[in-house]
Amino acid sequence: MEKQTLADSAQTDAAKRKKNQRTALLSAMFLMSMSAVGPGFITQTANFTVKLGAAFAFAILISILIDFVVQANIWRIVTITRMRAPAIANAAIPGSGYLLAVLVIIGGLFFNIGNIGGAGLGFNAMIDLDPKIGGAIGALAAIGIFVSRRAGIAMDRVVFVAAFVKLALILYAAIVSGPPVAEAFRQTFLPDTMDFLTITTIVGGTVGGYITYAGAHRLLDKGMVGVENIGAVNRAAFSGIAITGVLRYILFLAILGVVASGVVIDLSSQGANPAGQAFRAASGDIGFRIFGAVFLASALTSIIGAAYTSVSFLTAFKPNMSDRQRNLSTVGFIAFSLVCYLLITTPPAAMLVFVGGLNGLVLPIGLSIFMYAAWKRADLMHGYHYPRWLLILGVLTCVLTWYMAYKSVGAIFSLLG
C-alpha cells in the first residue's frame, strides 16, 4: 500500500511538473508574440502598406526570418546560462550590460507611452471615449494586474485571452477586405520595391528593443532553464515566431485589401489613424469598432510586455530584486509612462512608428553582445557546445541588422526634425 501511495505521489508530481512546464512555455511564447504584434506593428503595417502596397510583404518576410534567428539565439543563450540579458552582457563584455539595460529601458519607456496611446485609440474607436481617458484606463488595468497577489497568473491569462481575440478579429477583417492574395504572395519573394528604412522600422517594432528579451526572461522567471530544457524552449520559440508571422501576414492582407480597392487612407494629417481607416473602409462602422477591439487587446498586452521586460533589465543595477520589488517597479514604470502620455502632444500613431525605428537600432547592439558571448565565452555555457549553424546564422543576421541600421539612421532621426 505504501509503495502504491509513493508511486501515485510521484506520478502526480510528474504531471504537475509537465503542466507547469507547458504553462511556462505558453506564457513565454504568447508574451513574445503579442508584444511583437502590438499597436506599433499595426500602425506601421497600415503606414507601409499604403506606401508600398503588396511589396510590403517582403519586409514582413525579412522580419520573420530575422525574428527566427534572433529569438532562437537569445532564448537559447538565456536558457543555458540561466542569467538575464544584462548579466550575460556584463559577463561577456564588462560594462556592456549597463549600456544594454539603459537602451532597452529607454526604448521600452517610449514604446509604452505609445502603447498607452494605443489603448486610448482602441477605446476611442470602440466606444468614442476620449483617447486620453482611454489610455489612462488601459494603463490602470495593467497596473491592476501587477498589484494583484497572483500577478504572474493574471498576466498570463490576460495575454492568452487577448491573443485569441486579436487573431479572430484580424482574420475576420482580412476575409471581408478581399485582398489580392496572389499578388501579395508573389511580392513576398519578388518585391517591386525595397526600402531599408521600412525593413529596419518593422524589425525594430517586432523584435527590437525589449521585445527580443520578453519571452526569454519569462522562461527564466518560470524556471525553464538548463540544457535539459533546450528542446522545449526551441519549440516554444519557433511556435511563437510562427504565431507572430501568421498574425503579421493576415493583418497585412486585411489592410492591403482596402488599399488595393482604391480607398485613399490619410497618413499626413495630425492624429491620423491609418489602421482604423482601413478597418472602417473594409466593413464600415462595425469594422472600426473591431479595429478598436484589436488595438485595445494589442495595447494591453504590449503595455504588460514592455513594462515587465523593461523592469527585468533593472536587475543590471539591482541584481537581487524580489518579486514584490519587481512588481512595484513595474507599476511605477507604467504609471510614469502614463504621466508622460498625458503630457506629450505627439500623436500616438507617429510615436509608435518612430520608436519602432529607434528599437531597430538597439537590436544590433544587443545581438552583437550575445553572439560574442556564444562564440567566445564558452565558460558561460556550462559545457554546452553551441550549434555552429545557429552561431553562423546569428553572426550573419547581426551584420545584416547593423547594415540596415546604418542605411536607415539618417532617415529615422530626420523624423525628429
| Least confident window among 107-111, 244-248, 402-406 | 402-406
Confidence of residue 395 (pLDDT cuts 50, 70, 90): very high
Q: What is the CA radius of gyration of the chain?
A: 21
Residue 283 predicted with pLDDT over 80: no
353: domain CATH number? 1.20.1740.10
Q: What is the pLDDT of residue 19?
A: 66
Residue 166 predicted with pLDDT over 70: yes
The average pLDDT across 127-138 equals 89
Residue 25 lies in a domain: no
Residue 251 predicted with pLDDT over 80: yes
Residue 9 lies in a domain: no
Who wins on pLDDT, 209 or 231? Answer: 231
The average pLDDT across 82-110 equals 88
Q: What is the pLDDT of residue 267?
A: 65
Mean pLDDT of the chain: 79
Residue 20 lies in a domain: no
Confidence of residue 383 (pLDDT cuts 50, 70, 90): confident
The average pLDDT across 258-273 equals 70
Dihedral angle of Cα 301, 304, 306, 311, to the nearest 10 degrees: -160
Query: For residue range 316-326, what is the model confidence (pLDDT) as tens digits?
Result: 888 777 778 88
Residue 214 predicted with pLDDT over 80: no
Do residues 338 and 307 make contact, with C-beta atoms less than 8 angstroms apart? no
Residue 194 lies in a domain: yes
Label residue 262 left, alpha or beta by phi (over 0 means left) and psi (-120 to 50 means alpha). Answer: left
**Residue where the block lists cell 511538473:** 17
Confidence of residue 339 (pLDDT cuts 50, 70, 90): very high
The average pLDDT across 380-392 equals 87
Residue 12 lies in a domain: no
Q: What is the pLDDT of residue 338?
A: 92
- What range does the domain containing 252 cover? 37-414
Do residues 119 and 139 make contact, with C-beta atoms less than 8 angstroms apart? yes
**Residue where the block lists cell 488595438:** 295
Q: What is the pLDDT of residue 14?
A: 53
In whole angstroms, give the CA distance from residue 166 to residue 39.
11
Residue 365 predicted with pLDDT over 70: yes
Nearest-5° Cα angle at 91, 104 to 203: 30
Q: Tell which residue, 354, 170, 350, has the closest CA to residue 267.
A: 350
In whole angstroms, give the CA distance from residue 55 to residue 188.
7
Residue 284 lies in a domain: yes
In whole angstroms, give the CA distance from residue 144 to residue 304.
11
Residue 270 predicted with pLDDT over 70: no
Do residues 356 and 48 make contact, with C-beta atoms less than 8 angstroms apart? no
Q: What is the pLDDT of residue 349?
A: 60
Residue 270 lies in a domain: yes
Q: What is the pLDDT of residue 378?
A: 83
Residue 404 predicted with pLDDT over 80: no
**Number of domains the chain is built from:** 1
Residue 166 lies in a domain: yes
**Is 318 strand, coil or helix?**
coil
The average pLDDT across 96-110 equals 87
> Averaging pLDDT over each range in 100-114, 200-214, 395-409, which range is the top one?
100-114
Confidence of residue 268 (pLDDT cuts 50, 70, 90): low
Who wins on pLDDT, 324 or 123? Answer: 123
Q: Tell which residue, 35, 75, 71, 14, has the closest CA to residue 233.
A: 75
